[in-house]
Structures are given as structure tokens and as C-alpha cells.
């Protein structure tokens, strides 16, 4: 098999207050895979995600992206390769207009003028937010801000797209449209989610993180139909949802 795009080895991390959030996590994701990262509140999912582009740095173990170690001296290149849509869109949007926020990353890569404008508008168009380009992000609804946050990352054309709870606060049509965007992209995707039907729809493989460790790494269908595993890690299917009654699963 090819070497993984995302290669997390024996990653352990404690926050400065001493709280240990990760205890030796291994995760390997290959090019073009879409993997869901599941697990209860406080499992360490966001902490893991923040290691993938060097916002947090490994206490022990290592993280590399296409063979390049996530370390201070490679941060610029790592951040070009890995785009993260944060759990809270307000951590991603900080400029005066939607257009400026989406232009920020590509402008840092050296894009300017018409090429930059085109990159920005394409990304906004993809998430259905082109008409909001000149609005201040803080005047948008939460779901609209999340869509803009996705656009800021799409505009970077990353190799690996990491999304932390992308479907939360999206209306059903936006949730479906985001799924279509993700399916249409030729990138490697790691998606943190509590939305198990969304994981099943989009990600053939799921990794379950619980209390800072990986407790399962299997086809999503197998995870969602393993009642003992689900119960042990506070995973619950929405009422009435039965994975066995879905007739076309992603591959």
C-alpha cells in the first residue's frame, strides 16, 4: 500500500493545565480516503485535529502529512497541505467581510488580482454564499458562517481536508449540499462528527476515539451496527435510523 497522507503515530498530548487529552493515538489515512472520526464529547477529537496542522504540537509521538513532519520549521507548507474547518466558525472568521476572510489564505500563498478574486468567488459559490461576499461575517447566521468557514478552506485547495463537526447547525438542505461538495472533491477527508448517518453516507471508514485513545478503526457500517461498541462509547443512532436498511453505502 502507498504511504499514508496523514500519519499519526503514538500521539500523546496534555494541555498546559495538566489535563491529558490523548494517550498514544495511531491513525493512518491514505490518499483519497474519507474517514469519519467519531467519539463522545471530550474524547479528544478536536485535540487530535489541532495537531494535524501544528496548532498544537505533539507531547509524544509524531504527525506527518505526505511524509512531511508537522513541526515549526514546516508549518507554512503543512498549512498549505492541510485545511481545517474548525468546530466553531468564529475561530475561522475574523476580518471585515466574507470576501476578505476567504481571500486571506490564498493571498498568503501569493495569489492576487483576478486570480485571487476568482478563487474566492468559486469557493463562495460552492457553498452557496457568493451573494454574501461583501457582508461582515458577524452579521451572518451560525449556519451561514459555517458555510463561509468551509469556503475559506476550500479556497486553499488543500490536499487534506479536515472538518470538525461540519454538519452541526446546518439546515438539512445545506447539510446535503455540503455532502455533495465533499463527495465531489478529489481530496483526502477526515471528518469529525456526531452525525452518524452523515458518517455512514460519506465515509466508508470510521475511527472511534474514546478517552484519548482509538477504540475502533473499521468500516463505518460495522461500527454503527456494533451495539456493544456503540453503547460503551456513548454513540447513539438517531431515532428510527437503521444502517441495515440503507441500500447504497459509499465505498
Q: Does 19 bind ligand ATP (CB under 6 A)?
A: yes
CA dihedral 168, 193, 122, 183 (to 10 degrees): -130
Residues 249, 199: Cα–Cα separation, whole Å: 11
Shortest distance, position 15 Cβ to ligand ATP, whole Å: 3
Are β-strands 34-38 and 205-210 bridged in parallel, bridged antiparallel, or unpaired? parallel
Beta carbons within 8 Å of 210's beta carbon, 6+ residues apart = 39, 40, 43, 232, 233
**Scanning residues 79 to 108, which ones bind ligand ATP (CB under 6 A)?**
87
Shortest distance, position 44 Cβ to Mg ion, whole Å: 8
Shortest distance, position 39 Cβ to ligand ATP, whole Å: 6
**Scanning residues 214 to 243, which ones bind ligand ATP (CB under 6 A)?**
none
Residue 44 interacts, among Mg ion, ligand ATP, none and using kind-specific CB cut-offs from 5 to 8 Å, with: ligand ATP
Check if the beta carbon of residue 162 is closer than 8 Å to that of residue 153.
no
Q: DSSP letter at 55?
A: S
Q: What are 175's three cell numbers?
A: 447539510
Given the rule CB under 5 A, which of 38-46, 66-74, 169-177, 181-189 is the region that contacts Mg ion?
A: 38-46
Q: Does 168 bind Mg ion (CB under 5 A)?
A: no
Among 5, 8, 11, 21, binds ligand ATP (CB under 6 A): 21
Q: Does 46 bind Mg ion (CB under 5 A)?
A: yes
Q: With H, G, I as helix, E, B as strand and everything else as coil, classify residue 65.
A: strand
Check if the beta carbon of residue 147 is closer than 8 Å to that of residue 174.
yes
Residue 213 interacts, among Mg ion, ligand ATP, none and using kind-specific CB cut-offs from 5 to 8 Å, with: none
Residue 19 interacts, among Mg ion, ligand ATP, none and using kind-specific CB cut-offs from 5 to 8 Å, with: ligand ATP
Count CB atoms within 10 A of the CB of residue 42.
14
Check if the beta carbon of residue 39 is closer than 8 Å to that of residue 132.
no
Among 1, 2, 17, 239, binds ligand ATP (CB under 6 A): 17
Beta carbons within 8 Å of 134's beta carbon, 6+ residues apart = 97, 98, 99
Q: Which is nearer to ligand ATP, 87 or 111 (CB)?
A: 87
Q: Does 69 bind Mg ion (CB under 5 A)?
A: no
Shortest distance, position 239 Cβ to ligand ATP, whole Å: 20
Among 30, 31, 46, 109, binds ligand ATP (CB under 6 A): 46
**Scanning residues 25 to 44, which ones bind ligand ATP (CB under 6 A)?**
39, 41-44
Helix (H) or strand (E) holding 14: strand 6-14
Shortest distance, position 167 Cβ to ligand ATP, whole Å: 13
Are β-strands 205-210 and 213-219 bridged in parallel, bridged antiparallel, or unpaired? antiparallel
Which residues are near ligand ATP by CB under 6 A? 15, 17, 19, 21, 39, 41-47, 87
Amino acid at each position: 500500500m502507498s504511504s499514508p497522507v496523514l500519519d499519526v503515530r503514538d500521539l500523546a498530548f496534555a494541555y498546559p493545565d495538566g489535563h491529558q487529552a490523548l494517550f498514544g493515538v495511531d491513525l493512518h489515512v491514505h490518499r483519497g480516503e474519507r474517514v469519519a472520526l467519531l467519539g463522545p464529547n471530550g474524547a479528544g477529537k478536536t485535540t487530535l485535529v489541532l495537531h494535524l496542522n501544528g496548532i498544537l504540537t505533539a507531547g509524544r509521538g509524531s504527525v506527518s502529512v505526505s511524509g512531511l513532519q508537522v513541526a515549526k520549521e514546516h508549518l507554512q507548507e503543512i498549512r498549505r497541505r492541510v485545511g481545517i474547518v474548525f468546530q466553531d466558525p468564529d475561530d475561522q472568521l475574523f476580518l471585515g467581510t466574507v470576501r476578505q476572510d476567504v481571500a486571506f489564505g490564498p493571498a498568503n500563498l501569493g495569489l492576487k488580482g483576478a486570480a485571487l478574486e476568482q478563487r474566492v468567488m468559486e469557493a463562495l459559490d460552492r457553498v452557496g454564499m457568493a451573494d454574501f461576499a461583501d457582508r461582515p461575517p458577524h452579521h451572518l447566521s451560525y449556519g451561514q458562517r459555517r458555510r463561509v468557514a468551509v469556503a475559506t478552506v476550500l479556497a486553499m485547495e488543500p490536499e487534506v481536508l479536515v472538518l470538525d463537526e461540519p454538519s452541526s447547525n446546518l439546515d438539512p438542505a445545506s447539510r446535503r449540499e455540503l455532502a455533495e461538495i465533499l463527495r465531489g472533491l478529489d481530496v483526502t477527508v477526515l471528518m469529525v462528527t456526531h452525525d452518524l448517518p452523515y458518517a455512514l453516507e460519506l465515509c466508508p471508514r470510521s475511527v472511534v476515539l474514546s478517552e484519548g485513545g482509538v477504540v475502533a478503526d473499521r468500516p463505518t457500517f460495522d461500527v454503527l451496527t456494533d451495539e456493544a461498541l456503540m453503547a460503551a462509547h456513548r454513540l447513539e443512532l438517531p431515532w428510527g435510523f437503521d444502517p441495515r436498511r440503507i441500500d447504497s453505502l459509499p465505498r
